[in-house]
Chains A and B, each alone.
Chain A
Amino acid sequence: MALAKITSVTGTAVVVPGDDIDTDRIIPARFMRCVTFDGLGQYAFYDVRFDPGTGKPLNHPLDRPEHKGASILISGNNFGCGSSREHAPQALQKFGIRAVVAGSFAEIFFGNCTTLGIPCVCVSDADRAKLAQAISANPALQVSVQLKTLRVEAGECSVPCTIKEGARQALGEGQWDAIGLLLDGAKAVSALEAKLPKISLVSLS
Chain B
Amino acid sequence: MPQPRAGQGKNLFQKVWDTHTVRTLPNGQIQLFIGLHLIHEVTSPQAFGMLRDLGLKVPYPKRTFATVDHIVPTDTRAEPFKDELAQGMINALRTACRDFGIEFFDIHSGKQGIVHVIGPELGLTQPGLTIACGDSHTSTHGAFGAIAFGIGTSQVRDVLATQCMALDPLKVRRVEVNGKLGLGVYAKDVILHIIRKLGVNGGTGYAYEFAGTLFDRFSMEERMTVCNMSIEGGARVGYVNPDATTFAYLKDRPYAPTGQAWDAAVARWASFASDPDAAYDDVVKIDAAEILPTVTWGINPGQAIFVDESVPSVATASAEQKASIAEALEYMKLKPGAPIKGTKVDVCFIGSCTNSRMSDLREVAKYVQGRRVAAGVKALVVPGSEQVRDQAVKEGLDKIFSAAGFEWRDAGCSMCLAMNPDKLVGDQLCASSSNRNFKGRQGSPTGRTLLMSPLMVAAAALTGAVADCREVFEVEAVGA
Query: Is A35 an interface position by the 8 A CB rule?
Result: yes
Q: Is the CB of A204 within 8 A of B166?
A: no
Q: Is the CB of B22 within 8 A of A199?
A: no
Would you list the 5 A-B pairs with minimal beta carbon distance, nearest first?
A36-B49, A35-B92, A204-B261, A35-B45, A203-B257
Q: Is the CB of B161 within 8 A of A201?
A: no
Smallest distance from the beta carbon of B422 to chain A beta carbons, Å? 16
Considering only residues 151-205 of chain B, those with a C-beta below 8 Å from chain A are 152-154, 157-158, 161-166
Q: Is the CB of B126 within 8 A of A199?
A: yes
Query: Is A181 an interface position by the 8 A CB rule?
Result: yes
Given the complex of chains A and B, what is the CA–CA distance between A13 and B364 in angstroms?
64
Contact with A along B52-96 (1 / 0, CB 8 A): 011110011011000000000000000000000100110111000
Q: Can you name the residue of chain B whose Cβ is closest to the Cβ of A182?
A: B162
Q: Is the CB of B46 within 8 A of A193?
A: no
Question: Could you say which of B33, B55, B124 contacts A1, with CB atoms under 8 Å apart?
Answer: B55
Given the complex of chains A and B, what is the CA–CA distance between A202 and B259 in angstroms?
10
Considering only residues 132-168 of chain B, those with a C-beta below 8 Å from chain A are 152-154, 157-158, 161-166
> What's the interface size class on A, roughly?
20 to 34
Given contacts A179-B158, A197-B265, A203-B256, list 17 more A-B pairs with CB under 8 A: A34-B46, A35-B46, A178-B25, A179-B54, A179-B56, A181-B26, A185-B22, A185-B162, A192-B33, A193-B163, A197-B257, A199-B124, A201-B254, A203-B257, A204-B257, A204-B262, A204-B264
Contact flag A189-B62 (CB < 8 Å), given A179-B162, A204-B264: no
Number of residue pairs A-B, CB distance < 8 angstroms: 118
Contact flag A178-B158 (CB < 8 Å), given A37-B49, A193-B163, A201-B254: yes
Query: Is B251 an interface position by the 8 A CB rule?
Result: no
Query: Is A200 an interface position by the 8 A CB rule?
Result: yes
Q: Is the CB of A36 within 8 A of B45?
A: yes
Q: Is the CB of B158 within 8 A of A205?
A: no
Considering only residues 9-47 of chain B, those with a C-beta below 8 Å from chain A are 19-20, 22-23, 25-27, 29, 31, 33, 35-36, 41, 45-46
Q: Is the CB of A186 within 8 A of B46?
A: no
Instruction: Please indicate the chain A residues that have their CB under 8 angstroms from the CB of B45 in the complex.
Output: 34-36
Q: Is the CB of A86 within 8 A of B23?
A: no
Q: Is the CB of B33 within 8 A of A36?
A: no
Instruction: Please indicate the chain B residues that have their CB under 8 angstroms from the CB of A201 in the complex.
Output: 254-255
Instruction: Please indicate the chain A residues that have their CB under 8 angstroms from the CB of B257 in the complex.
Output: 197, 203-204
Query: Is B408 an interface position by the 8 A CB rule?
Result: no
Given the complex of chains A and B, what is the CA–CA distance between A193 and B126 in angstroms?
16
Query: Is B239 an interface position by the 8 A CB rule?
Result: no
Given the complex of chains A and B, what is the CA–CA distance between A1 and B157 in angstroms?
14
Q: Can you name the residue of chain A whose Cβ is closest to the Cβ of B19?
A: A196
